[in-house]
Structure 1
Amino acid sequence: MRHFSILFVFFFGARSYGQIEQNSVELKVILQNLEKQHHVRFSYNEGEISAHHIFPPPENMPLSAKLVYIQNRTLLGFMRIKKYIVVYRPQKPVIAPLCGYVTDEMGMPINNAIVQYNGKKLATGADGYFELPPDNYKDIYVAHDGYIQTFVAAQNPDGDCQKITLVLEPVQMEELVTERFIATGISKKADGSYTIQPKKFGILPGLIEPDVLQAMQQLPGITSVDETVSNINVRGGTHDQNLFMWNGIRLFQTGHFFGLISALNPNLAHNIRIVKNGTPAFYGESVSSAIDISSRLNDIGENSGSVSSNMIGADAYAKFKINEKAGFEVTARRSFTDVLDFPTYTNYSKRIFQNTVVTALEGNGDVNYKSDKEFYFYDFTVGYHQKIGKRHDLYADVIGINNSLDFTQGTITSSNVVTQNSNLDQHTLGGSISWRTVWNDRHSSDVNVYGSYYKVDGRNASIEYEQVTEQENNILDAGVKLSHHYNFMPELTLHGGYQFNEIGIENTDRVNQPQYSREVKEVLRSHALIAEAEYKPENSLLYGRAGIRGNYIEQLGRLYAEPRFQVGYAFAPGWKLEVMGEQKSQSASQVVELQGDFLGIEKRRWILANDNDIPLQRSNQLSAGITFKQHGWLFTLDNFYKRVRGITTLGQAFQDQLEQVQATGNYTVIGSEFLVQKQFYGFNTWLSYTFTNNNYRFKGVEPKHFPSSFEISHLVKGAVSYEFNNLKLSLGGKWFTGRPYTPPLLSIPTTDNNGQPVIAYDYPNSENLGNFLEVDFSALYTLQLSEKAHMQVGLSLINVLDRRNIINRYYRINNTNGGIEMVNTYALQRTPNAMIKISF
């Protein structure tokens, strides 16, 4: 915890930032400091300034205002020629101009704010500074889009420039109610959901690109027990219990590098919506959270593009405006890890492939990366937007994602050299067509047709036993969504819709010695009717939404309803109370049949509920929270209860006595999420704490309840970020208590009924790993190349302290000595990354 002391220093140091020293300082020293801070040069006569000692001007003042400040206390004059400033003693007293500077609530200067005086107008400069010509004034009017306009007296206190602070304009409840939630570009909406806008993204520790699935893990209540984006846990749930959608297409694959990098190109996504509770009734097939990614804009927009590269791969983005009614976007990204081997790739490889077939499962030793393993990934998207008339919009989108691994194992026998090739491929291909119509001011409709195909294909060729195992997991998902929206009255909107979905999942296994083959195909067709009402009066004090989703699954003969609601009430200035609840379900989930499946890397496979050994999963969740936001401070507190029924032991990643046990049950989570944030003078500091108590209950399993494999009892995250002009810096980290694991009851193996050595385990998840601590850093700098082009360079460092964190532990029988062997999986070691991006 001592490593987080820096966060508290910045956080509670906000009030003292920028205070004037209590002792006067020699003017020469002050001018030297101004030269360093504002990149200017002063020219002066030593004799004219040596007698002056004054209190330094506040650091957050613009340079022009500081010169007025010094002028008023020394009666010296300043003549500025570009970056050179001449200091002189005027013959006549210099009258200080009527001047001021405009900032926001964080102390950041506001450029192009309108200053109106005596019927005339002028705009502030990039530093927020302005001067008024000599005249007789009364009040002056200051305004800027997005801020509350203000009138101030036309006079300077003590003859100095006046500081004018503009406050963000309150918005209606349907718009964003908490801007800059943790970072610029992350906001919390009136309905309790979170939005991430990559194009406006600020900076987070360890990230140099707006990786949405990494960024969402900074939110309270969201983490990953193994630091991957393919195992995101929201309020104690498993990754497959989250619904991931891209332009109406459900995604079954979310990561590259088998989870360390998001499979979604950061250049494309325009808006990401994350819902932890109170999910709108239009979202189905998840018992945890919903993540809806949209790259669709209402307008065609202008031509733009970018190219970038980091130490893993390169990508490109292009947006073309065909005409005023049509345009399309294209993105493409590919790793060069099969050609170049930077430290980033080396560390990622050690993290992902440890304790798998790729790193010699039996010996747990790394193979030669360059000669034995070849890995690469790519993704692409194509989007088309056509406006038809004034009321209709047509969208067509395609997405493709691929991970590919090939590695060769070889050995020398007495007679020859034996080699075997194994591989693992993971593919996603999806498409959707949508039609959106605004009939009039009160009616609008949407139609969406979508389909996606997912496949993971593994081939494991063993040298020792000349055994070849081939495995496949295929998914074909398609459907239609219809929705209509009716503004019944100004403050009440009614939503209705129908959804049809057909999903087919096929699992195939083939082994040559002994010869074995299995092929299982499952199909489910479901129908859903949605009705929802949304209440948002003009006074913005109250927001409410209530809806119900009626589901019918043909093959299971199941008909059931899922109510959802969300209420927000601003009961006092800056204070808001939120209450949410929902019931949800899902029919597709992931299980692990054997830890060595798919080379032990992507060992989870998707299956469908059958209402027998694989139940339909159902969830209930309630939460109540309070938010306070004022004067750059933000406090949020959420308490929640969540219960999920219909889970199986195969879906909970057990690597102990329950690994081969198939039982059904539930888990219950009770928790709290707390966030405190302060913004001041370009700094943004935040600290969050999440507490969860997460317990299983499985039929026929003792004890009756025990900790979840995904329980993180205490989780602390925080960061200090600084944004000034073109520079962004962020330092932060996370600390959490270790996840549960099951130790052996005895130090030596016992034998089963067949005389084979086995491990006698203690109660499931009865011990915890050591605490996890990681400190990350990132920096971004933007350089303007021309009016429309700029270059961005970035540097990040994950695990600055190079701490050896254990994120998983299990036990196995050592084939050499027959004893019990402890196997640890370690988090990323210190990993650098660098990025360069040119946008135009």
Structure 2
Amino acid sequence: MKNNKCIIYIILFVVNVCFAQNNAAKRPLTEIIEGVEQKFNVKFSYAFDDVANVFIEQPNPEFSLEQTITYLNSKTLLNFKTLDNRYITVSVIEKAISICGFVFASENREPLFGASVVVNNSKKGAITNEGGKFQLDEVPLNTMITISYLGFNSRQFPVQQFFSEIASCKQIVLVENKEELNQVLITKFLTTGFQKLIDGSTVLNTKAFGILPGLTDPDILQSIQTLPGVESTDESIANINVRGGTNDQNLMLWDGIKMYHSGHFFGLISAYNPNLTNKVVVTKNGTSSEFSDGVSSTINMFTKNELTGKFSGGAGANLINADVFFEIPITKKIEFHISGRRSITDVFNTPTYDNYFDRSFQDSDIKTNSENIENQTTTSDFVFYDYTAKILFDLNDNHKFRANVIGIDNNLDYYESITNNNETKSKLSNLAQKNLGFGGHWVANWNSKISSHFTAYYSKYNVDANDYRIESDQLLTQTNEVLETGFKFNTYYKPNDFLTILNGYQFNETGILNETSVTKPLYDRAKKDVLLNHAFYTQAQYNKGATFFRIGVRANYFQKFQKSIIEPRLNVRQKISNQFAVKLEGEFKNQSATQIVDFQDDFLGVENRRWILANEQTIPISTSKQGSFGIDFNQNNLNIDITGFYKTVEGITASNQGFYNNFQYINAIGDYTAKGLEFLANKTAVKYSTWVSYTYSINDYKFETFTPSIFPNNVDIRHSVSIGFNYDVLENLKVSVGGMWRSGQPYTSPVEGNETVRSGNVTYVNYGAPNSKNLDEFKRLDASLSYKFDVYQSIKASLKIGVLNLMNTKNIINRYYKVNPNDSESTIQINNASLSLTPNISFRVDF
């Protein structure tokens, strides 16, 4: 007991000595003021309570009066102001200062790129750079700032804490949010705003998006093509191929609403406005059992979901479209978010629009008719727009409600006139493509361990075309309509910080209508199918230390066919050292709605795909099995990822694949197998990021009724390489350069010396072995430049310049053949070309 008392006395003595020494270096402000008054023959005017109990170090005796006043202002939270040569006032006012800081992760002390720093109840804010640094000027002393980052707990600080006697930036540490179902593994991946999650999926945070080669805006579906295993054989986001799959095999969700349409300009621009899209999660394998209905990948888009309590917004324009968005607080518990985007191409044409137009419509009636029919003139008007709106209502901390709507519209009017014998006939054709979605969400936290999430949605997709052909006086009317309603109910149980158990039920009703009518000769065909699907799923996710695993199962029941499909899911990641980790992923999935491709019976030759439902006879439910194994290396901001994968998809149809050969008109059921290796190396630093990715893949069809039965897939890209380099020239000036190279895709050529074959009165191309030849390799170099600046305090602006195909490389992306109209025994080779050199400029203002 005596020893304990002695220890306490020693501690108290040391503390008192240290405190005395510390105070010895400082003097009361009142004494310093008196000394300054005597030295410079001036008089200070102040309230005693304002300066009482303020201690600072003695100013340098060599300081002038001006230097002394500056010193006093820098060392106190008071405002010293010289009125004239005699009098100086001292007051406490709403003083504004400049603040800066560095934001780090608590576990490894790595800088957090793209963290949000916001001055509460104001429009002022900043984003941390690659080194985790931020700076804000003119911040009132009596305010608070909030620092937040995806996957981490937000923190608030009074601005006064940044006022320090030492001229350095504050060190701020954020702690990982253990309640996040998917935690961030790599905070900066390729560029700011890209993140890699521990379950292997990739997140694009559009708010913090940096820069990528060729892009002027964070186009969601263009950006994800930088990932290995994600290709677009024809440069179109309407044809994204993930590990050898077709575009319709990607499940696209926008705030829980299933979307059946993805692009403007018939695939060259993403239809989803990124300015209210908060994050996009891309999963290639090991998907949560919560999701199905996409046998290749899941692209899950989320809008901003938290109340900010402040009015903000932005507007921008590029050489194709203009957009605007607002976040409007109604009350403390209700907020309204809205965005809109519209093309400007009907007002004036730009070089960017001309290139996009030529690329999109090069193989359509719009181009071929004007070139092949004499005495004909054609014009076309193309307009697209999209809009979103969302209501956020927080009843309290435990119950939150959300309701949202999204609309996407493409409209093409095509005018043609033919003059014969001084008589002119003019007609209008039209193609309208729309996707409308409504959704509602209720998130409930019943206690610290149990929560639930209820989602309901309605999605409607339409393609309507009226194609009048003057030369034959024929009207072709086509319709493809998809109506889907559904709801999902999830419950989450968290017995501790490491384990989460999910149980859920999902119901979907999908109806698809296909209708075609023709005049002269009179023909009409309409077919409508409806399918009801019930699904129960369960899943356990564990994440602690070096171990992460997620295991689940999904049971699907198709009421119409009385058919059940069981889908196991697995996702495991284990760290084996501080640098290395191994990962194992696997999944079974199914898909009941697919697209068929008909090059001969299409919508103006522009949109040649239509959605259909499985009937379990000629069109089965597609199923996939996929497994992958990989190794991660991560040290000193160098990340290397090597993954091998094997995937089989059964139940595909020949009409679903878009063959341009002898199989084009044959009904058949088959499968494809894709296997390969993905490699990605990414090095990041404060001022730069560089990466190189390589994908090797073998992708083969198998159709038992075809000869040969096994042949290369239409999207069999054996080798694909992508490189990129981002550099910060200045803090607000960034450049990005990157290129891609890939082997040419397969095509089928006619039999040499016997190019055509006649059947009755019709002559056809006599194709040889399917997909036995390959196009020349595809090469493209892109570049971008981004400059950000402040217009006025809380108003920030950015100017971005992007160039696609900087070297104007002539790439062929598709090749097929037609019978020569002048010689029925020969064929004409048709080549579809990629985008030529295409510049774009965007200007944005955010407030």
Aligned position for 2:340: 332
SS of alignment partner, residue 478 of structure 1: strand
3-state SS, counterpart of residue 572 of structure 1: coil
Structure 2 counterpart SS, 1:199? helix
**Letter of the structure 2 residue corresponding to residue 385 of structure 1:** L
Is 1:756 aligned with 2:762?
A: yes
What is the CA distance between 1:747 and its match in structure 2? 4.4
Q: Deviations over 1:118-170 (max 9, x none)?
A: xxxxxx9999999xxxxxxxxxxxx99989xxxxxxxxxxxxx9999999988
The 2-side partners of 1:779 and 1:747 are apart by 52
Contact 1:746 1:760 in 2 (8 A): no
Find the counterpart in structure 2 of residue 644 from structure 1.
Answer: 649
1:629-778 map, 5 Å: 629-723=634-728, 724-747=730-753, 749-778=755-784
Q: Which amino acid aligns with 1:271?
A: K
The match for 2:466 is: 459
Instruction: Measure how far apart 1:260 and its partner are.
Output: 0.2
**How much has 1:718 moved relative to structure 2?**
1.0
- Given the alignment of the two structures, is residue 513 of structure 1 paired with residue 520 of structure 2, yes or no? yes
TM-score, with normalisation over the residues of structure 1? 0.80
Relative to structure 1, is the Cα distance of residues 448 and 630 closer, same or farther in structure 2, using a 3 angstrom cutoff?
A: same
CA contact (8 A) 1:106 1:681 kept: no
Larger Rg: 2
2:562 is matched with: 557
Taking the aligned partners of 1:106 and 1:442, their CA distance within structure 2 comes to 31
* Deviation (angstroms), 1:688: 0.2
SS in 2 for 1:612: coil
- 1:525 alignment partner in structure 2: 532
User: How much does 1:418 deviate?
Assistant: 1.7
1:226 matched to which residue of 2?
234
Aligned-partner SS, 1:323: coil
- Amino acid of the structure 2 residue aligned with 1:781: Y
1:501-538 CA distances to partner (integer Å, 9 max, x unpaired)? 0000000000001110000000000000011111112x
Query: Would you say how many aligned residue pairs link Structure 1 and Structure 2?
Result: 705
SS in 2 for 1:337: coil
**Cα deviation per residue 1:427-482 (whole Å; 9 max; x = unaligned)?**
11110111110111101101111001100011211122111111000010001110
Sort the Cα spacing of 1:821 and 1:664 in 2 relative to 1 into closer, same or farther, 3 A: same
Distance 2:802 2:376 in 1: 27
Structure 2 matches for 1:242-261, cutoff 5 A?
242-261=250-269
Measure the CA separation in 1 of the matches of 2:430 and 2:612.
22
User: How many angstroms does 1:733 deviate by?
Assistant: 1.2
What's the Cα RMSD here? Answer: 3.1
Distance in 2 between residues matched to 1:609 and 1:283, nearest whole Å: 19
In 2, Cα distance between equivalents of 1:745 and 1:485:
61
Contact 1:355 1:364 in 2 (8 A): no
Instruction: Write the distance in 2 (CA, Å) between the matches of 1:787 and 1:368.
Output: 57
Q: Partner of 1:825 in structure 2?
A: 832
Q: Does the 8 A contact of 1:643 with 1:668 survive in 2?
A: yes
Q: Helix, strand or coil: the match of 1:566? A: strand
Relative to structure 1, is the Cα distance of residues 803 and 322 closer, same or farther in structure 2, using a 3 angstrom cutoff? same
Describe the SS at the equivalent of 2:744.
coil
Deviation string 1:189-212 (CA, Å, 9 cap, x unpaired) is 011111111000011001111111
In structure 2, the residue matched to 1:429 is 436
Which of 273, 278, 293 is residue 285 of structure 1 equivalent to? Answer: 293
Instruction: Give ranges in structure 1 of 5+ residues lacking alignment.
Output: 1-78, 83-100, 114-123, 131-142, 148-160
Could you tell me which of 201, 211, 215 is aligned with 1:203?
A: 211
Contact 2:363/2:606 (8 A) holds in 1: no
1:500 aligned to 2:486? no
Q: What are the equivalent positions in structure 2 for 1:184-195 lying under 5 Å apart? A: 184-195=192-203
> Pick from 274, 295, 298: which aligns with 2:282?
274
The one-letter code matched in structure 2 to 1:575 is F
What amino acid maps onto 2:582 in structure 1? L
> Counterparts in 2 of 1:35-184, with a 5 A limit?
174-184=182-192
Would the aligned equivalents of 1:242 and 1:287 in 2 still touch at CA under 8 Å? yes
Deviation digits for residues 195-235 of structure 1 (CA, Å, limit 9, x no counterpart):
11100001100111111100011111101011111110000
Give a deviation string over 1:165-198, Cα, whole Å, max 9, x none: 9999888694200121111111110111111110
Once the 2 structures are TM-superposed, how far is the Cα of residue 271 of structure 1 from its aligned partner? 1.3
Residues 713-744 of structure 1: per-residue CA shift (max 9 Å, x gap): 10001111013411121000110001100000
* Residue range with higher mean Cα deviation, 359-368 or 597-606: 359-368
Report if aligned partners of 1:359, 1:365 keep a CA contact under 8 Å in 2: no
The equivalent of 1:597 in structure 2 is 602
Residue matched to 2:796: 790
Of the candidates 622, 627, 645, which is equivalent to residue 622 of structure 1?
Answer: 627
Equivalence for 1:18: none
State the partner residue of 2:359: 351
SS in 1 for 2:447: coil
Counterpart amino acid of residue 808 in structure 1: N
Once residues 298 and 129 of structure 2 are traced to their aligned partners in structure 1, the CA distance between those partners, rounded to angstroms, is 43
Give 3-state SS (helix, strand or coil) of 2:330's partner. strand
The answer as to 2:509 corresponding to 1:475 is no
Distance in 2 (alpha carbons) for counterparts of 1:396 and 1:417: 52
User: Following TM superposition, by how much is the alpha carbon of 1:488 offset from its aligned partner in structure 2, in angstroms?
Assistant: 2.6
Structure 2: distance between partners of 1:250 and 1:265: 16
Alpha-carbon shift at residue 748 of structure 1 (Å): 5.0
Any conservation in 2 of the 1:245–1:251 contact (CA below 8 Å)? yes
After superposition, the Cα gap between the structure-2 partners of 1:609 and 1:683, relative to the gap in structure 1 and judged at 3 Å, is same
Change (3 A) 1:110 1:805: closer
Cα distance in 2 between the residues matched to 1:836 and 1:713: 39
AA at the equivalent of 1:442: K
2-side partners of 1:183 and 1:782: how far apart?
Answer: 16
Residues 1:575 and 2:580 aligned together = yes
Matched, 1:305 2:305: no
Instruction: Judge conservation of contact 1:112–1:128 (CA < 8 Å) in 2.
Output: no
Note if contact 1:707-1:766 (Cα within 8 Å) is conserved in structure 2.
Answer: yes
**3-state SS of paired residue (1:217):** helix
Identity score, percent: 37
Question: 1:557 corresponds to which letter in structure 2?
Answer: Q
Quote the Cα distance in structure 2 between the aligned partners of 1:445 and 1:737: 48
Aligned pair partner of 2:807 in 785, 801, 804: 801
Cα gap change, 1:166 to 1:299, in 2 (>3 Å): closer
Question: 1:741 is aligned with what amino acid?
Answer: Y
- Aligned partner letter, 2:732: N
SS in 2 for 1:520: strand
User: Could you give the per-residue CA deviations for residues 537-572 of structure 1, whole angstroms, max 9, x where no partner exists?
Assistant: 2x2x00010111100001111112100010001110
Given the alignment, which residue of 313, 318, 326 partners 2:326? Answer: 318
394, 398, 409: which one aligns with 1:391: 398
Distance (whole Å) between structure 1 residues aligned to residue 374 and residue 382 of structure 2: 15
